[in-house]
Amino acid sequence: MSPNDTDRDRAGEAPLFLSLSPQERRHLLAGASARDYGIGETVFTEGDPADRFFVVLEGRVNLFALTAAGAQSVIETFEPVTTFAEAAIFGAGIFPLTCEAVEPTRLLHVPAKPFLDHLAADPGVTRRLLAGLALWQAKLYHEIATLKDHSPAVRLAAFLLSLTPVTDGPAQVHLPFPKATLASRIGITPESLSRALARLKPLGVDVQGRDIHILDVSKLRKDAT
């Protein structure tokens, strides 16, 4: 199946492509094709020749190794929009792990040879791919710093405050998504979210379903962040 424009636009959001110009991106992904996978469907198997890499457009895949006992040991999980298995095409040329869709998933397949030929012909493009990865590293470093520095309650308060334009006095906030999504958005488990909400209660944060009342925005900002 050939990718539609939406697929290509989405793929362009992957960190690897961040520093490329739109034309370069189009050129590099010219031979790519999109494919849908059902739950549990295999994308590739350990030892297969790495003749392509992938961009997760929708859904989720697991990369895993099989243990001696035949059990799956999940090494990595990839969600939209990220590339995966590109290290295999740059490097060894075989897939070192097995990959399977864990939900209904749409992947962009990027054939290795034209991609590598294009890079070999244009060191500028290679440099911009490396620059994209460098930006991604910087982003991950900051994410680590934030995760390390702040308790779940602080991160939750910062997120709630970001949802309101109010800077002083009371504010009413409606969560744009369910609480489970909120938990994953600020990087905590649903259990930690309940605890974090409980901790913010004495600071004037009252939760009714997805409606959240903040007694005093400036006070919360001062006390919790």
**Displacement of CA 164 from its chain's centroid (Å):** 25
Location of structure tokens 């409980």: 198
Using rule CB under 8 A, residue 112 touches another protein: no
Q: Is 175 in the site for another protein (CB under 8 A)?
A: no
Please state, in angstroms and rounded to a whole number, the distance separating the CA atoms of residues 86 and 61: 15
Of 32-40, 42-50, 82-90, 102-110, which part binds another protein (CB under 8 A)?
A: 82-90
Looking at the Cβ atoms of 124 and 169, the one nearer to another protein is 124
Residues 46, 120 contacting (CB under 8 angstroms): no
49: β partners: 94
Q: Using the rule CB under 8 A, is 142 a contact of another protein?
A: yes
Question: Shortest approach of another protein to residue 196 CB, angstroms?
Answer: 13
Hey, which residues between 31 and 70 contact another protein (CB under 8 A)? none
Q: Name the residue nearer to another protein (CB basis): 120 or 215.
A: 120
Q: Please identify, using beta-carbon distances, which residue of 135 and 215 lies nearer to another protein.
A: 135
Nearer to another protein, 67 or 208 (CB): 67
How far CA 70 is from CA of 64, 66, 67, in Å, comes to 11, 5, 5
The rounded distance, in Å, linking the Cα atoms of 44 and 11 is 20
> Does 103 contact another protein by CB under 8 A?
no
Q: Is 224 in the site for another protein (CB under 8 A)?
A: no
Contact residue for another protein among 188, 193, 212, 217 (CB under 8 A): 188
Q: Can you tell me which of 1, 39, 116, 198 binds another protein, judged by CB under 8 A?
A: 116
Among residues 97, 101, 112, 129, the one that binds another protein under rule CB under 8 A: 129
CB 152 within 8 A of CB 160: no
Applying CB under 8 A, the span of 41-49, 105-113, 115-123, 196-204 interacting with another protein comes to 115-123
Q: Give whichever of 97 and 197 is closer to another protein, judged by the CB atom.
A: 97
- The CA distance from 122 to 64, in Å, is 34
Q: Which string of b and e fits 160-175 if b means at least 16 CB within 10 Å?
A: bbeeeeeeeeebebeb
- Structural contact between residues 27 and 118, judged by C-beta atoms closer than 8 angstroms: yes
For 30, the token pair is 């010219």
* 56 contacts 81 by C-beta, under 8 angstroms: yes
Binding site for another protein (CB under 8 A): 15, 19, 76-77, 86-87, 90-91, 116, 119-120, 123, 126-131, 133-138, 140-149, 184, 187-189
